[in-house]
Structure 1
Amino acid sequence: MERTRVARVDHVILARRGEQVDGSLHLTPHHLIFSHVPPASNEDRATGTPVRPKELWFTYPIISLCTLRPAPAASRQLSSIRLRCRDFTFVCFYFTDEIKARTVFDSIKQWTCKSGRLEKLYAFSYQPPPPERELNGWDLYDPRKEWDRQGLNAPNSRWRLSEINVDYSFSPTYPALIPVPCSISDNTINYAGRYRSRARIPALTYLHPVNNCTITRSSQPLVGVRGNRSIQDEKLLAAIFSTSRSERPLGNFAQAQTNLDREASDSSTDTEPQIIEADDVNPEEIEDDMLTSAQGDSEEQKKLIYGAQQNNLIVDARPTVNAFAMQAVGLGSENMDNYKFASKAYLGIDNIHVMRDSLNKVIDALKETDVTPLGPNREQLNRSGWLKHITGILDGAGLIARQVGLTHSHVLIHCSDGWDRTSQLSALSQICLDPYFRTLEGFMVLVEKDWLSFGHMFRHRSGHLSSEKWFQVENERIGGGDNNRGGFEASGAGKAIENAFLSAKGFFGRDNTSRDSLPESDGELQNFDGEPTAKKPSPIPRSIVAEKEITKVKETSPVFHQFLDATYQLLHQYPTRFEFNERFLRRLLYHLYSCQFGTFLFNSEKERKDLNARERTRSVWDYFLARREQFTNPQYDPLVDDHQRGKERLIFPLLNETRWWSEAFGRSDAEMNGPLPSGLPVPSKDEIPKPSRTPVPAGVETAQKTGTPPVTPSKVSDAATAGIAAVTSGISQLSVLKSQPKDRRGDSREEQMEVELN
C-alpha cells in the first residue's frame, strides 16, 4: 500500500462560514482530520479543567471537489485547499508553506482516487464500537419474510416466488427471488425477459393487503422502430393485472398459457423467436384470452367481479418525447394497442443528467459559504429547478398511490433501465400506501427491497471510487485547462456520436433539455433490434481492468438523495405519521457517501454476494439500530384508523408545501425557506410542470401537458428511421475520427456529452 506523503501539518487555518480557527491537519488512510483546541471558557479557567481538542473528520469518498490555489508569486496571500463535500460541507484550509499545501493536496488526491477497488474503501476495514458489534443489520431484510408480510403466501394467493434468477444468470441486476403470478411459468418468464432491457421483467414489489392490487416494476421494452412486441410480455402483464380478481382466476387465458408453454417446450430455445414483430403473428386469439381474463366475460359478470372497474395503469416516468426517441436505438415504450387491458401515463420526470445538473446549480448557490458568512444565493437556488424536480417525483408517487389505494387498480412502473426514477416512484408510493414503511425498521426494509435488491447503481451514481477530474489546481485551470482532461468526450468521435443522437431525436422538439435518448447506464451503444454490438476492445489489459475501477462522472447523479428529500417532504407534511425523524434521513444521506458501511457500495444484489459484503463489511442499519433513540420521532402516533381524520392508512403528498430541506444542505430554515429578497423572481404554479392526472386511454399515446403536440405512430416511425440513419452516419465516422489526435483544449464538451464508448 502506498504511504501518504505527509501525515500531519501544523498551523493550518480552517475557514468555514466566515470563521477561522488555527489547528492541525492529519491525513490517515481513510480520513482527513482537522483538530484544534478551542479557547478555555471562564468556567474551565476557574476549575482548572483542561480544554479538550475538537475534531472535524472527512472521509475521502465524501469529497466531491478539491481545489488547490497556490499563492501568487511575490504575494502575501496564503496557499489554500478548498473542499466541497457531498454532505454539503464547504471548508477552506490555508497554509503558510506552499510546498506543504501541494503535498497535502497530492496526498488527499492519492488517498481519494488511487484506491481503484471497492475492497480498499473504509467499509472493509471498519471496526464497529460495541453497541454496533452486537447487531447484524444484514439480517434485517429477509425477502421471504417480507413477502409473507405482504400476503404473498396467503391462502388463494395468485403469486409465487420464482427462482429463475437464483444464480443471477437470468438478470444480473435483479434479486434472486422474483415474485410473479402463479399462472406464469418460468419458461414464459424466460422469453418475456428477452423483450425487456437487461431482462428486468415486470416483477411484483408491493401487494396491497386491502384490495390485492399491486405495484410492479420493470425496465423499458425493446420496441424499436419496427414496433417489436412480445406475446410473453403481454401475457405476463395481463396475468399481473388479473391477480386481484376473486370470482374467476384467469379463464381462457390460463388455457392459452398452457398451450403456449407446451409449444415452447417442443421447440429449441435457440431458435424460438425472442422478439416478435407485429406483422409476423396473428395474436387475436391470445389477445382475446388476455382481455377476457383482465376485463371479464360480460357486462353482467363485471358487476360480480371485485375490481371490475379497475383502471390499470402503465406508468412511464420519462417525458413522452424521450420515450419515443429511445425507439431510434431499439428501445422505447409500450405500444398500447398490444396492452388494451391498461392505460398509460407519462410523468415527464427528467433523467439522471438533468438531476445532476440541477444539484450542481444548488451547489453553485452554496459554494462560497466556506470563506464568507453570507447565506446562499436565493436567486440561484430558485433557478436550479431542484424543488420542481422534487415536486414532480412526489406528484408521480401520489398518482401511483391513488391508483392502487383509492381506485383499486394495478400499476406497472418503469423508466429506462428501471433502477433510478422507477425506484424513487416505487418506494415513495409504498410509503404513502403502507404505514409499515413509515416505521424505522419498515423504512430500512423498503430501502433494502426497492433500492438494494432491485439493483439501483449505488456505486456508479454515488461515485464512491472518485475521479481525478474532481481535483483541480486553480491557477493552472484558469491559465489554460487541466492537462488531465480530454479523452473521448472531447474528441471528434465523441462529437460525431453526440450529433448523431441529437439528430435522431431532433424531430421530437428543439426545446427538450432531457437526454433520455442517450444511454443512462454503462454508456455502451447497443442495437436492441438485433444482437448487441460488440464492445470496443479496451486498451487496458483485462487483468488490470479486473483490478482497477474508476468513476464515470457522467453516471453520477443524486437519485437516492432525491428520494430522501422527497421522504423528508412527507415527514414534514405528516409529522405524526413517521416513527423516524429528520436526523435519521440526514445521517442516512451522509452514510450514502461515507463508505463506512457496505450497504451502499454495490450496484446489485449479485455484486454484494460476489464480494461477500455480508461477511466482510458492516450494514449501515447497525449504526441506526444501535442509536435508535437518536432517530425516533417523539411525535409519532402508530394508530391507524381510516374513520378518524389524521390517522388514515394512506397519505398523499401536498405539492404546494414542497420546501427546501435546509438541514440536509447545512443551512438554516430562514436561509433556505425564508421570504425571497425583493426583486427576485418567484416561480408560479404554471412554471412547475406536473404529471398528467388523467391516464392515457388504451391505444392512445399523447404528449404531456408541456405544449408539445401529440406524436402519432406514423410520425414516430418516420422520425425514428431518420434518427437511425443519423446514428449510423455518426458511427461510420468513428474509425476516421478516432485516429485523429485527441482534443486537449479542455473538457467543456463533457458537460454536454452523456455517451462514453469503452
Structure 2
Amino acid sequence: MENVFTVDGVVLNRRGSYILGTLILSRFHLVFTFNSPRTASAISSTLDASQQRKEIWVCYPIIERISKARGSTWLNNNFDNSSNGYGSGSSNNIDSKPSNSSGSHSRANSPALQIAGFDNYSASHIRLQCKDFTYFSFDFRNDLICCEVFNKMSLLITKSKIENDIRQLYAYSYVPNNIEQNLQVKGWDLYDPIEEYTRLGLLRRDGHNNKLFWKLTNINENYKFCTSYPKVMIVPSSISDNVLQHAGKFRSKQRIPVVVYKHHANINGNVIARCAQPLVGLNLQNRSIQDEKLIGEIFHSQELEKAFMLKSCEEEILNDNDTGYQAQQPQKNLLVDLRPVTNAMAQHALGAGTENVENYRNKKPHKDDDHYNGDGHQQGHRNSRQVDKIFCNIDNIHVIRDSLNKLTTVLNNLDKYSPNSQVNVSNSSTATTPTTTTTPITTTTPTTTTTTTTTTASASLQQALSKTYWLHRLSIILQSVDRIIKSIHLNNTNVVIHCSDGWDRTSQVSALAQLCLDPFYRTTKGFMILIEKEWTSFGFKYRTRADHGGCIGAVMKKEQKKYIAQPNGNESPQSQQQQQPAESVSSESMTMLENRPLSELSSSAAASVTSFFQKAAKAARDLKNSAQNGLSNYPDEGTDYPNDSLINKSSISFSSTTYGGSNERSPVFHQFIDCIYQIHRQKPTYFEFNTRFLKRLLYHYYSCQYGTFLCDSEKEAQQVYRIDKSTVSVWDYFNSRPNEFKNPAYTVRERGKAEVMAETKANTNTNAKAKVKKDDDDCGGVVFFNSADMKWWSELYGRSDEEMNGLSNSLDRKFAQMDLK
C-alpha cells in the first residue's frame, strides 16, 4: 500500500460510536487503523497490540459525497439534540459509564463516546457518504489539518475524473489473488454471444445462421453502424443489411430492433426484441418502411417457426393437452414503451416520440405462408396483424436519482445515532433527532422509554421512507415485467421493448423479463451471462451512470479556457463543449425540425400543432442550455481534446471548484438489483445465488476494483481501453468463492417441453422427432411474483428490518422461517 498522507489522533464516528485511530490516505484507498476495544478475555490474553490492530478500508470510487465542517461530529450531533430538548452539551469530556435502572449495561446507554482530551470546539470534521450506504465521520484536532486532509482526499478521489482517464482507477492496478488467477474459465471468457444465441435456439448448433428464420448480421462488425450496440446481433433471416441501414435512420442512436431472447418454456417460441425510440418528428407523421418491415418480419419469423415446430412435433403435441392448447393460441404482438405517456409525447418536440401502432399492423403476403400456415391456402391479400402498444410509466434517470437522494438523506440522518435509538423523522429533507439520548452526554440516564414513543418514532421513520417513493418506483418496473412475462408465456405474444435511448429502462425490463422466463438466467453462471448480454453488450453507460471518479463536494480543478493554435501562430479561445442529455436527439436535429416548412402540413390545425411543438422545442433547448450553464464546469467524461499538436498546454488555465455532481448520474443498475432482490425474497427457491451475491455485485459496480463496470459500451471496453487485457473481471471474484454466494434453498428446475423440442429443430436433420419429458414442470420454470409486495432491503441499507419495514414484517419473517423448519 502506497501511503500518500498519514494523520494520527483522528476520531472515527459511526452510528453513535467513537474511536481514536490513525487515518491513512493511500493511492487507491482510505484506511483507518485502530486498536480494537479490549474485552475481559482480551485483557487476560497474551496477544500483543499489533495483533489487536484493526483496519477499515474504503475505496475512493465508493465515496459519493464529502463535506467538511467546523466542530467535532459529537458537537454537531449534540447541538441537534440539545436544540430540540434532548440532552445537554455542558460536558466536553466525560468518561463515566452510566447504567440503566436495572443495573445492567445496555447498548443504547453505552459509555460516553467522547474522547478524553479532545477539544470538540477547536476540532473540525469530514463526513463521507458512500454509494454502498455506509457513512463515516472523521474528527481532526484543528481545522488546518482537516483542510489539508480534505484537499488531498478530494484530489485522490477525483483523479480519474480530472484527467478524464479510467486508467487512473484501481482496476488497472489491482493484482488478483491466487484463486482468481488459477480459475480455469476467466470472467472475460464467460459470455460467448454465438454460444448463448445458439442455446436460445436463434442460431444452429454448429453456430451458423438458422436460415429459415433468424440470422446473425455483421452490419456492426466494427461498430460503425451503431457505436453503442454489440458486434453480434440477431435479426430475421429475410432482412438484408441494406434494410437495416435504412431502418437505423429511424431509431435514436441507430439502435434498431434486434432479437435478444426466444422463449423455450412453451411451444410458441415467442421472442423479445429491444431498440430505441423512433424518430417520428414534430408532425407525428414520419415513418420508415424499413423499420416497419423489420419489426413485421420479427413477428412473422416467430409465426413461421412456430408452424414448423408444430409439424415436426405433431405426435407429442397431440398427446399433451397443455401444449395443444398453447399451439392453438392466436399470435399477438406488443410494442412496449417503458416511458410515461407525457414523457413520450414530449419527445415529439425533439423530433423523436413513439410509434404509430397502425403502421405496424399491416401484414404482407409471404412466399412461404402457404407452406407453413397450416391451412394450405395462399394469402394473396394484405390483412391485419394484431399489434398493440402499452406505456409502462417508468420514470427517467433524473426522477430516479432524486428518489435515491431522498432515501440517502433519511439514512444519513439515521446513521448519526446508535442503531438502538428511537429516531423521530418528520420528513426526508429535515434533520433527524432522537427521542431519547442515543449516547450519554451527562451522568444521568433517561428513566423511561414508553411504547408510545417507540411506535411514534417508527411510524415517523416509515413515513419518511415512503416519501422517497423508491419502493413505489420499483413496483412500477415489476408491474411492467409482470405484464411482459405473462404475455409471452401465457398469451403467445411477441414483445418489442424500448424507452428513449434504449440502454437504461430497456436494459432493466428486458433483463428482468428474461430472468423470470428462463431458469438458466437464475443460475449463478446464467445471471453473469445475462448481465454481459443485456447490459454490457447493449451499451449501458456504467461509467456515466455511476459517475466513476466523481464525488459531490470534492474540491477539483476545472478548465476555464483552452486555446487552439491557429496556422498563423495565434491562439483563439474555444469554450468547452457541453454534454448532451441522455434522452434527447442532437441539437442539429432540433434545429432541422424547428425549421420544417409549414407548407408540408395539410391543415391550419396541423399548422397550429406544429407551431406549438416548435415553441416547445425552443423552450426545451433554452432550458437545456440554462441547466448546463448552471452545472459545475469540470471536464466532461465524453470530451475529446484536439491533438496535442494543436494545443498549447501552457495556455490551459485551471482553478479550483466544488464538484456538484453529474446530471447523467442515476441508480439505474441499483434499481435492477433491488428488483431482483424483491423477486428473490418472494421466490427464494428459484435462485442459485443468495442475496449477498446481489449486495456484493452492487458494491463492485461502484468500487472500480474490477474492469467489468468501467465503460459505457462494448466498443469502448474492447477497442478503446481493452479492459479484458488490462483488468480483472468481476466474475472472477464471485467464481473464486462460490460457497459464499450459494443459496441453500435453491431447487433445480427441469427444462420445459418446448426447449427439448427446440434441440431437435436446431439439428441438421429437421425431420427428427422431439422426445418430450412428461414430468416437466407445467410452468417451465417461469417465475410469477407479486409486484405489489415491496419491502425495504434492510441489509443493503445497513439498518435493521424492524427499522425499515416495521415490527409486523419482522415477525412475519420469523414465523415463516419457523414454518420452513
Structure-2-length-normalised TM-score: 0.66
Stretch deviating more after TM superposition (134-143 or 213-222): 134-143
For 1:518 and 1:27, the matched residues in 2 are separated by: 41
Shift of residue 553, structure 1, vs aligned partner: 1.0
Contact 2:233–2:259 under 8 Å retained in 1: yes
Aligned to 1:553: 662
For 1:644 and 1:184, the matched residues in 2 are separated by: 36
Residue pairs, 1:644-683, within 5 angstroms:
649-675=781-807
Unaligned 5+ segments in structure 1 are: 251-302, 473-485, 490-496, 509-514, 525-534, 678-758
Contact 1:307–1:409 under 8 Å retained in 2: no
Aligned to 1:7: 5
Structure 2 SS opposite 1:242: helix
1:459 to 543, 546, 550: 543
1:186 partner amino acid: D
Q: Deviation per CA, 1:343-390: give whole Å up to 9, x if none.
A: 100001110000000000001111123432246733221100000000
1:88 to 105, 108, 133: 133
2:173 partner amino acid: S
Contact 2:67–2:127 under 8 Å retained in 1: yes
Residue pairs, 1:485-524, within 5 angstroms:
none
Q: Does 1:180 align with 2:312?
A: no
For 2:741 and 2:610, the matched residues in 1 are separated by: 47
Note closer, same or farther for the CA distance 1:112–1:92 as it changes in structure 2 (3 Å cut): same
Q: Does 1:584 align with 2:693?
A: yes
1:608 to 717, 727, 734: 717
Shift of residue 47, structure 1, vs aligned partner: 3.4
Q: Does 1:618 align with 2:666?
A: no
Aligned to 1:67: 67
Shift of residue 311, structure 1, vs aligned partner: 1.9
2:725 partner amino acid: E
Aligned-residue identity in percent: 42
Q: Deviation per CA, 1:288-333: give whole Å up to 9, x if none.
A: xxxxxxxxxxxxxxx9995761221000000111111101111000
Note closer, same or farther for the CA distance 1:551–1:397 as it changes in structure 2 (3 Å cut): farther
For 1:46 and 1:399, the matched residues in 2 are separated by: 63
Q: Deviation per CA, 1:436-479: give whole Å up to 9, x if none.
A: 0100010000000000000001110000021564559xxxxxxx
Q: Deviation per CA, 1:60-94: give whole Å up to 9, x if none.
A: 11111100113499972520000000000011101
For 2:474 and 2:291, the matched residues in 1 are separated by: 32
For 1:579 and 1:217, the matched residues in 2 are separated by: 27
Shift of residue 55, structure 1, vs aligned partner: 1.3
Residue pairs, 1:46-65, within 5 angstroms:
46-50=44-48, 51-65=51-65
For 1:37 and 1:601, the matched residues in 2 are separated by: 36
2:291 to 209, 214, 233: 233
Q: Does 1:441 align with 2:551?
A: no
1:622 partner amino acid: D
Q: Does 1:336 align with 2:318?
A: no
Shift of residue 153, structure 1, vs aligned partner: 1.9
Structure 2 SS opposite 1:179: strand
Contact 1:70–1:78 under 8 Å retained in 2: yes
Q: Does 1:112 align with 2:169?
A: no
Contact 1:576–1:637 under 8 Å retained in 2: yes
Shift of residue 538, structure 1, vs aligned partner: 8.2
For 2:18 and 2:326, the matched residues in 1 are separated by: 71
For 1:194 and 1:218, the matched residues in 2 are separated by: 13
For 2:155 and 2:692, the matched residues in 1 are separated by: 32
For 1:171 and 1:551, the matched residues in 2 are separated by: 32
Structure 2 SS opposite 1:174: coil
Q: Deviation per CA, 1:3-33: give whole Å up to 9, x if none.
A: 98x5111111111011111111110010001
Aligned to 2:179: 131
Structure 2 SS opposite 1:244: helix
Structure 2 SS opposite 1:325: helix
Contact 2:159–2:168 under 8 Å retained in 1: no
Q: Deviation per CA, 1:252-287: give whole Å up to 9, x if none.
A: xxxxxxxxxxxxxxxxxxxxxxxxxxxxxxxxxxxx
Structure 1 or 2, whichever has the larger Rg, is 2
Aligned to 1:275: none
Shift of residue 133, structure 1, vs aligned partner: 1.3
Structure 2 SS opposite 1:119: helix
Residue pairs, 1:256-271, within 5 angstroms:
none
2:297 partner amino acid: A
Structure 2 SS opposite 1:229: coil
Number of aligned pairs? 581
Shift of residue 247, structure 1, vs aligned partner: 7.6
Note closer, same or farther for the CA distance 1:470–1:315 as it changes in structure 2 (3 Å cut): farther
For 1:26 and 1:90, the matched residues in 2 are separated by: 17
Shift of residue 224, structure 1, vs aligned partner: 0.9
Residue pairs, 1:96-107, within 5 angstroms:
96-107=141-152
1:38 to 18, 36, 41: 36
Structure 2 SS opposite 1:418: coil
Contact 2:689–2:743 under 8 Å retained in 1: yes
For 1:71 and 1:9, the matched residues in 2 are separated by: 18
Structure 2 SS opposite 1:7: strand
Aligned to 1:191: 246
Contact 1:220–1:418 under 8 Å retained in 2: yes
Aligned to 2:602: none
Aligned to 1:16: 14
Q: Does 1:309 align with 2:330?
A: yes
Note closer, same or farther for the CA distance 1:413–1:602 as it changes in structure 2 (3 Å cut): same
For 2:15 and 2:776, the matched residues in 1 are separated by: 47
Shift of residue 158, structure 1, vs aligned partner: 1.1
Q: Deviation per CA, 1:168-224: give whole Å up to 9, x if none.
A: 000000000111010101111111011100100001111112322101100000001
Structure 2 SS opposite 1:246: helix
1:213 partner amino acid: N
Q: Does 1:633 align with 2:633?
A: no
Structure-1-length-normalised TM-score: 0.71
Residue pairs, 1:522-533, within 5 angstroms:
none
Structure 2 SS opposite 1:76: coil
Structure 1 SS opposite 2:31: strand
Structure 2 SS opposite 1:621: helix
For 1:518 and 1:433, the matched residues in 2 are separated by: 42
Residue pairs, 1:134-149, within 5 angstroms:
134-135=182-183, 136-149=186-199
Q: Deviation per CA, 1:84-118: give whole Å up to 9, x if none.
A: 00000011101112211111111110001132210
Aligned to 2:534: 450
For 1:506 and 1:82, the matched residues in 2 are separated by: 51
For 1:38 and 1:667, the matched residues in 2 are separated by: 23
Unaligned 5+ segments in structure 2 are: 76-118, 205-209, 309-323, 362-384, 426-460, 557-575, 580-586, 594-607, 614-619, 630-635, 753-774, 810-821
Contact 1:378–1:676 under 8 Å retained in 2: no
2:390 to 345, 358, 362: 345
For 2:623 and 2:785, the matched residues in 1 are separated by: 31
For 2:729 and 2:642, the matched residues in 1 are separated by: 34
Contact 2:65–2:130 under 8 Å retained in 1: yes
1:412 partner amino acid: V
Aligned to 2:344: 323
